[in-house]
Amino acid sequence: MVRVSRLPSAHVVFGAQDVAASGYAEPDAVVFNAKVYTVEPGVPRAEAFAVKGGRFLAVGSSEEVRKLIGKRTQTFDAQQMTVVPGFIDCHNHAVGDQLLYEVIVGNPFEVELVTLDSIIDKLNAKARQTPPGYWVEGFFFDDTKVKDKRQLNVHDLDKVSGDHPVAVHHRGGHTTYYNSKALQMAGVTRSTPNPPGGTFDRDETGALNGRVTDRAEVVFEKVGKRPQYTAAERLQRGRAAMAHISKQFVRYGLTSVHHEHFDGPDALRGIEAIRAQGQLLHRVFFAVTGHQLEDLIESGVQTGLGDEWLRIGGTVEHTADGSFSERTMALSIPYPGMTSGYKGNVTETQEVIDAWVLRMHRAGIQVNCHANGDVAIDEVLTALERAQKAFPVADTRPQITHCTLVNDSLIKRIKALGVVPAPFTTYAYYNSDKFHFYGEELMKRSMAYRSFIDAGIIAAAGSDFPPGPFAPLMGMQGMVTRTGWNGETWGAEQRVTVAEALQINTLNGAYASHEEHIKGSIAVGKLADYVVLSEDLHTVVHDKIKDIKVVRTVTGGNTVYQA
């Protein structure tokens, strides 16, 4: 059968014949002869659909939908290619500015091993163009994607410069490597104690090795110089950065992204500017923080204000602990394989999290907390439980971003609160070289998509770019196989089916922003966001899912990317 849309301005359900007979309802486009995976409960497959006014007008068989083709209808014979809903990423830092303007020392999008020398060379070149006293920084470093069989250290970075503070930021976002000049400017010496929630790491002789974790990085924020820009320059840069990242997203089939920006106002202005110029190719759920968040609460603005292209999101991730990939997340047991007894970094006290969560909850701002380790997840759940007890609100869908290491008791509490976990997607493929640090016992309970589904929890996809690449097909391959680029398989119990992986990356993402009624599946009346793929992800060999090509990405009926 053909399902026909309720037209936005008509509020009438048309039968197929009515639509065909009405010039008004003539579709803008018809796609037919496709293998359509709708992700719509009850009607998983179709061959064709019609689009009008940026929404799906009809979904059904090729024969039925082709009857709707009118004089002005564009037609697309998909020749049995696969079509799926546009992908949705619920946690992405969208750092177009880094990609455009900064020194990139690792591959942001794919697995690629580099040499420490290549990093030093790139930073040397930057130092030569930079006045003394200004920061020289590298981004997208990944400590397990280096060909040298050793860690980057302070001596490497001293080769870059003795006159500039030098920093190499791990793409995971929780550790940075500094040169001696930077350590000296920040007043960090061999005898400086570790602050709460962070570490100044040392070599076997007790000397600083340059690696600094989590809250210990704060002291570097106040030293060294960085270029200053006028408001007009910042807007121009923000605009270019957003236009750039939007193009990257649709290249990989993403049509909706939850943006996490720590420089909220400039990023939001950049998005508004490129939207006005027709360069915003994906939909944005914009997470807020800092002054911007305070202003919204003050003025009574709640999560969800906006339209289907740009909506005020929940909070930027409130960070409760360290990093999974950089091995600083807060565990209830010492890190396996470490003799020091280190259990990771808890970066926020229970009292602070309690007060913050309650305040957001009461203000109608969707809570989003970063918690990786079981200790941090427990802390966040405790805060959410206390907030709900003090001020009950139905269907709040708080997000626990990453929500990496769980157990049965945490899963029960996640289910009871209606939390949406957004675990890492691409890590199972991209970061398989790091899982030996945790071991199989912990990996069985990490990135626990299978456990969440089995418990009836709606989990969404969170690439966390830059920490993980954002390619949804790479993410789905990892979720389905739990096998990484190096051939290692970890936590095979947490595998999901292709259909489940697809739903996590589409409809569940729409649910996370309370938008499942308007997007996330190919269904009559929903926004016409879809992706045409070169091969069928359901039938291709599982370890080739990431190699499927995105042939075309369509947002709101407009082709925004074509291979």
Nearer residue to Zn ion within complex by CB, 235 or 352 = 352
Nearer residue to Zn ion within complex by CB, 273 or 381 = 381
Nearer residue to Zn ion within complex by CB, 259 or 552 = 259
Dihedral angle, C-alpha 31, 34, 38, 43, nearest 10 °: 100
Cβ 216 vs Cβ 194: under 8 Å: yes
Distance in Å, CB of 90 to Zn ion, minimum:
11
Nearer residue to Zn ion within complex by CB, 66 or 370 = 370
Q: Let me know how long the chain is.
A: 563
Distance in Å, CB of 277 to Zn ion, minimum:
28
Residue in this structure with the two tokens 């009405």, named with its chain if needed = 22
Nearer residue to Zn ion within complex by CB, 81 or 316 = 316
**Exposure pattern of 440-460 as b/e (b: 16+ CB <10 Å)?**
eebbbbbbbbbbbbeeebbbb
Nearer residue to Zn ion within complex by CB, 62 or 98 = 98
Cβ 190 vs Cβ 206: under 8 Å: yes
Cβ 400 vs Cβ 328: under 8 Å: no
State whether the Cα torsion 338-468-117-162 is positive or negative: negative
Distance in Å, CB of 257 to Zn ion, minimum:
13
Distance in Å, CB of 306 to Zn ion, minimum:
21
Other C-beta atoms closer than 10 Å to the C-beta of 245 total: 28
3-state secondary structure at position 242: helix
Kindly list the distances between the CA atom of residue 207 and the CA atoms of 159, 183, 201, 219, in Å, as whole numbers in the listed order. Answer: 18, 12, 8, 18
State whether the Cα torsion 242-244-248-253 is positive or negative: positive
- Tell me which residue has its CB nearest to Zn ion: 370
Nearest to 97 by CA among 227, 210, 224, 214: 227
Distance in Å, CB of 557 to Zn ion, minimum:
31
Residue in this structure with the two tokens 């929404």, named with its chain if needed = 55
Distance in Å, CB of 421 to Zn ion, minimum:
13
Rounded to 10 deg, the angle between the 374-390 and 408-417 helix axes is 30
Nearer residue to Zn ion within complex by CB, 469 or 557 = 469
Nearer residue to Zn ion within complex by CB, 169 or 370 = 370
Query: Kindly report the CA angle at 368 between 173 and 451, in degrees rounded to 5?
Result: 90
Nearer residue to Zn ion within complex by CB, 64 or 464 = 464
Residue 414: phi and psi, rounded to 5, are: -60, -45
Q: How many CA atoms lie within 13 A of 456 on its CB side?
A: 6
Nearer residue to Zn ion within complex by CB, 352 or 499 = 352
What is the distance between the alpha carbons of residues 258 and 256, in angstroms, rounded to a whole number?
Answer: 7
Nearer residue to Zn ion within complex by CB, 199 or 372 = 372
For residue 15, give every residue at least 6 positions away whose Cβ sits within 8 Å of its Cβ, in sequence order, or none.
4
Distance in Å, CB of 440 to Zn ion, minimum:
24
Residue in this structure with the two tokens 């564009």, named with its chain if needed = 74
Residue 115: phi and psi, rounded to 5, are: -100, 155
Query: Which residues would be at the binding site for Zn ion (CB under 5 A)?
Result: 317, 370, 464
Nearer residue to Zn ion within complex by CB, 174 or 397 = 174
- Which residue(s) pair with 84 in the sheet? 531
C-alpha gyration radius of the chain? 24
Nearer residue to Zn ion within complex by CB, 169 or 526 = 169
State the SS3 of 304-319: CCECCCEEEEEECCEE
What is the distance between the alpha carbons of residues 192 and 207, in angstroms, rounded to a whole number?
Answer: 11
Residue 37: phi and psi, rounded to 5, are: -100, 105
Distance in Å, CB of 323 to Zn ion, minimum:
7
Distance in Å, CB of 293 to Zn ion, minimum:
16
What is the distance between the alpha carbons of residues 381 and 374, in angstroms, rounded to a whole number?
Answer: 10
Distance in Å, CB of 320 to Zn ion, minimum:
9
Nearer residue to Zn ion within complex by CB, 217 or 317 = 317
Distance in Å, CB of 319 to Zn ion, minimum:
6
Distance in Å, CB of 562 to Zn ion, minimum:
30
| N-to-C CA span, the chain | 32
Distance in Å, CB of 152 to Zn ion, minimum:
22
What is the distance between the alpha carbons of residues 314 and 248, in angstroms, rounded to a whole number?
Answer: 24
Distance in Å, CB of 93 to Zn ion, minimum:
6
